[in-house]
Amino acid sequence: MIKTRLIATASSVPEQIITNDDISKIVDTSDEWITQRTGIKERHISSGENTSELVADTARKLLERASVAPENVDLIVVASVTPDFGTPSLACMVQKEIGAVNAVAFDIAAACSGFMFALSIADKYIKAGVYKNAVVIGGETLSKIIDWKDRSTCVLFGDGAGGAYVEKSEDAGIICEDLGSCGDQYHILTEGYSPCSNAFNEIPSGVHPDWYVHMDGREVFKFATKNVIKSMQKVMSQEKLTQGDIKYIVPHQANVRITEVISKKLDIPYEKFYMNMERYGNTSSASIPIALNELNEKGLIARGDKIILSGFGGGMTWGTMLIDW
């Protein structure tokens, strides 16, 4: 059976690190509050790099690690809610940067589930025999859509990109997935609103308040725990796997407390969840691939291991994949 195998992983983050203490100098918060409620200690914040630069850097590393010439890339899919432009897509900008002249390139948006949705798309093209390989990246500069005066959101997020180079394979790869969307709950997490302003419809100038991230934290918490648990149960039962068969779970890095609830309810030891949000914050679509790359670079996963990637995000959306590494 044809599968889609993750051949190489990579990530790229801005050099600038902002600690909880740094944030407590601009809003009324503390390292203690942020650490206890979220698990985050620091995050990388752009000092000018836009999303396309982080995504292009990730793409370059992926091709280098997979030893693939840019002209041999078939498909580039980038997930982001903070692209540089409405058009061109980040994927087309990256295509130019890396010289992938023969690739088809486009972006998708599914917020923090974005990498899962992008990987699913690449997987279907490969399984259908349309393309043989793909560069799949999630990348964000969330710092540009955060209200740095709002302590309830500005402490949570970070900037970065991460991704995978995937190829058609006869043996290892993506086994199964569960994706879902709940548009009826879209209002609990929003950002980047652009009002319909035109010459015949005057709207006050300046940044619209809904440009910034707005979130009902408690509702997001409930949505995440309920749907990620169901989604992980679904992929594991489909393949008749128990937690003992899974080497690692790479969850969306939003909040340590969400992962603790998932671990407890599913009776999966917390140590099996690979966590790095204390150093990156929530990087939305980049969070799973940045964590997966770290897991891979540390040599903690080997061929034959089964791992699960699982994310949730704005929309509201969720996505889980079981992978035979």
Q: Which residues bind ligand ACO (CB under 6 A)?
A: 29, 33-34, 37-38, 112, 151-152, 155-156, 189, 215, 217-218, 220-221, 254-255, 257, 282, 312-314
How far separated are the first and last CA of the chain, in Å rounded?
15
CB closer to ligand ACO out of 95 and 113:
113
Instruction: Mark whether 282 is an active-site residue.
Output: yes
Q: Which residue is nearest to ligand ACO (CB)?
A: 217
DSSP code at position 214: E
Q: Which of 252, 255, 293, 296 is catalytic?
A: 252
- Residue at token pair 């790095």: 276
Three-state SS for 302-320 is CCCCEEEEEEEECCCEEEE
Q: Which of 20, 44, 112, 154 is catalytic?
A: 112
Q: 33 or 211, CB closer to ligand ACO?
A: 33
Instruction: State the greatest distance between any 2 C-alpha atoms of the chain, in Å, as a whole number.
Output: 62
Q: 188: which residues sit within 8 A by CB, 6+ positions away?
A: 215, 216, 219, 220, 223, 316
Minimum separation from the CB atom of position 37 to ligand ACO (A): 4
Is 112 catalytic? The answer is yes
Which of 227, 282, 293, 296 is catalytic? The answer is 282
The residue type found at 153 is T
Q: Are 81 and 114 a contacting pair, CB within 8 Å?
A: yes
Report residue 11 as tokens: 């990530």
Give the shortest CB-184-to-ligand ACO separation in angstroms. 16
Is 182 a known active-site residue? no
Of the two residues 68 and 220, which places its CB atom closer to ligand ACO in the complex?
220
Nearer to ligand ACO, 120 or 282 (CB): 282
Q: What's the token pair of residue 142?
A: 């969330």
* Residues acting as catalytic residues: 112, 252, 282
